[in-house]
Amino acid sequence: MKVGIIGSGIAGLASAVRMALKGHEVTVFESNNYPGGKLSAFELGNYRFDAGPSLFTMPHYVDELFELAGENPRDYFGYEKLDTVCHYFWEDGTRLNAYADKQAFAEETERVLQVPAKRLIKVLRESERKYELTGRTFLEKSLHRVDTWLTKDVARAIVRIPTLDLFSSMNRANERIAKHPKLVQLFNRFATYNGSNPYKAPGLLNIIPHFEHHIGAYFPKGGMHAITESIYELAKRKGVKFVFEATVDQIVVENRKAKSLIVKGQKHGFDRIICNMDIFHAYRQLLPDQKAPERILKQPKSTSALIFYWGIRQNFSELGVHNIFFSEDYRREFAEMEAGKVFDDPTVYINITSKREPSDAPAGGENWFVMINVPPNTGQNWEEVIPEVRQNTLKKLSRMLKVDVEQLIECEEILDPVRIESKTASHLGALYGTSSNNRMAAFLRHPNFSNRIQDLYFCGGSVHPGGGIPLCLLSAKIIDEITD
């Protein structure tokens, strides 16, 4: 077959590899002049930054692509497991290291928070239990095909629905199990991994910590952009053709079948089309004459991000690759985002790849990727919001690190929801498509195929199973399986 793919985000790249390995002739059209979508990189002065996703979990999903191609992943792509998953900081001076080793993490929690070690172990085991009951089926399979529901695994999960906290919020479930306010806040933050609100999102989403604390958090050698580069090079080795600076204008449908793509006024015929574009823009821009799934397109959006890329001329021994500086009023922070605002005491995430890749910053310096969760772009005056958030962030970090951070900034770049949408076509700058605050959110994501148009498929963070590198890779795998 001739397969046309729209977009070279991580899901588009993975789909290209999988289709090529089936012997298909694959062409990828990308509007930017580089592959990767959000998973890209840039240099600023003497500092290198990963532009988008900064956390790498479930690395076996990347390895699988090389193994399917008959290659040794380690020949092309390497990574190492982090000993400390994240460093947590609170305003009262509390500092907690979330070690990769569960027992060490539990003992650290007992030492710092006076929480019995067995309670932390219980929280992690509960996360594992929920994942084992639901994750393998509902993340790795299509929820929109009958055969998914006719399995023993689904029957086993359905029987245990009362124990999955589907009708409780993440916060309520964490209050019941973790109990200590700081530990509750720590596990509530995992809602942000898919742009949701822990005070609304169902407790079932407490499966997310399992990715980090059981399977592990990893650092790709060469930084996160190495994921893009390795899969892109694999695709090229397998014969995939990439056309950059090639914005797709329309998906041509004839007799309810996707037949071709119009790119720069030229029609390119294909037997199968895979769209890695945000599902909202896919229908509004590429399929304007087709009936759109309005209920899905109108679902509330996930959060976005305001990111400051700072070249810092100092080393901080207390910081690691991943660091979280918590807000003192977490509930209010999310309430403000729900109202379309940014809280004046935001939770701040700092990613520093130079901790593992010293060449990412000059000697004596660090490359700070500083991210604040913000609402999607619904008309806010970001030119006014950004300076205010910047000052609040600097004051917070300076206060908690006991140093004037602003005086250490050598260079700076900023990414906001408006720029996120313009660069990646993510509707309203939302990072994960729709939010998962509704307990039925998983079923309100667009399926990986079209029910109305034959030979049209969808991958990426705005469709099932969701946003983030692992789930985007799984969206490509689902398409691979349902097109056998």
CA neighbor of 231 nearest in space, from 9, 481, 468, 57: 9
In the block, which residue shows the tokens 């039925």? 440
Question: Tell me, what's the pLDDT at 146?
Answer: 62
Q: Is residue 458 part of a domain?
A: yes
Domain harbouring 457, CATH code: 3.50.50.60
Same domain, 181 and 266: no
Same domain, 238 and 294: yes
Q: Is residue 187 part of a domain?
A: yes
Percentage of the chain beyond pLDDT 70 is 95
- The CB density around residue 384, as the number of other CB atoms within 10 Å, is 9
Q: Is residue 95 part of a domain?
A: no
Strand partners, 202: 169
Residues 199-228 pLDDT 10s: 999 998 999 999 999 999 999 999 999 999
Question: Tell me, what's the pLDDT at 465?
Answer: 93
More confident residue, 440 or 289: 289
Q: Are 97 and 50 in contact (CB under 8 A)?
A: no
Same domain, 9 and 71: yes
In the block, which residue shows the tokens 């079948």? 257
Question: What is the H or E stretch that residue 5 is in?
Answer: strand 2-6
Question: Tell me, what's the pLDDT at 443?
Answer: 59
Same domain, 239 and 284: yes
Residue type, 176: R
Question: What is the H or E stretch that residue 99 is in?
Answer: strand 95-99
Residues 279-305 pLDDT 10s: 999 999 999 999 999 999 999 999 999
pLDDT averaged over every residue in the chain: 94
Q: Is residue 138 part of a domain?
A: yes
The secondary structure of residue 169, as a DSSP letter, is B
Task: Among 212, 244, 279, give the residue marking a domain's end.
Answer: 212
Cβ neighbours of residue 310 closer than 8 Å, sequence gap 6 or more: 367, 368, 370, 409, 411, 412
Q: How far is CA 256 from the centre of its chain?
A: 33
The parent domain of residue 133 ranges over: 111-192+201-212
Point out the least confidently predicted range of 62-71, 140-149, 191-200.
140-149
Same domain, 205 and 237: no
Same domain, 120 and 184: yes
Q: Are 65 and 14 in contact (CB under 8 A)?
A: yes
Q: Are 305 and 431 in contact (CB under 8 A)?
A: yes
Same domain, 70 and 119: no
Rg of the chain on CA atoms, in Å: 22
For residues 186 and 326, give the distance between their C-alpha atoms in angstroms, rounded to a whole number.
9
Q: Is 25 exposed, middle or buried (0-12, 13-18, 19+ CB in 10 A)?
A: middle
Indicate the number of domains in the chain: 2
Cβ neighbours of residue 339 closer than 8 Å, sequence gap 6 or more: 375
Same domain, 124 and 188: yes
Same domain, 75 and 33: yes
Same domain, 67 and 155: no
- The CB density around residue 288, as the number of other CB atoms within 10 Å, is 10
Inter-helix orientation angle 10-21/225-237, to 10° = 20
Task: Among 182, 212, 242, give the residue marking a domain's end.
Answer: 212
Length of the chain in residues, anyone? 484
Q: Is residue 37 part of a domain?
A: yes
For residues 24 and 271, give the distance between their C-alpha atoms in angstroms, rounded to a whole number.
10
Q: Mind giving me the DSSP string for 382-441?
A: HHHHHHHHHHHHHHHHHHHHTS-GGGGEEEEEEE-HHHHHHHH--GGG-SSSB-S-STTG
CA atoms within 13 A on the CB side of 26: 28
Q: Is residue 205 part of a domain?
A: yes
Q: Is residue 314 part of a domain?
A: no
Mean pLDDT of 169-189: 97
pTM above 0.85, yes or no: yes
In the block, which residue shows the tokens 């030492």? 111
Q: Are 126 and 160 in contact (CB under 8 A)?
A: no
In this prediction, residue 438 has a pLDDT band, given cuts at 50, 70 and 90, of confident
Same domain, 456 and 431: yes
Task: Among 178, 212, 246, give the residue marking a domain's end.
Answer: 212
Q: Mind giving me the DSSP string for 62-96?
A: HHHHHHHTT--GGGT--EEE-SEEEEEE-TTS-EE
Is the pLDDT confidence value at 381 over 90? yes
Q: Mind giving me the DSSP string for 277-309?
A: S-HHHIIIII-TTSPP-HHHHTSPB--EEEEEE
CA neighbor of 284 nearest in space, from 276, 275, 292, 273: 292
Same domain, 187 and 225: no
Q: Is residue 21 part of a domain?
A: yes
Is the pLDDT confidence value at 150 over 90? no
Q: What is the dihedral of CA 455, 456, 460, 464, to 10 degrees?
A: -90
In the block, which residue shows the tokens 């901080």? 316
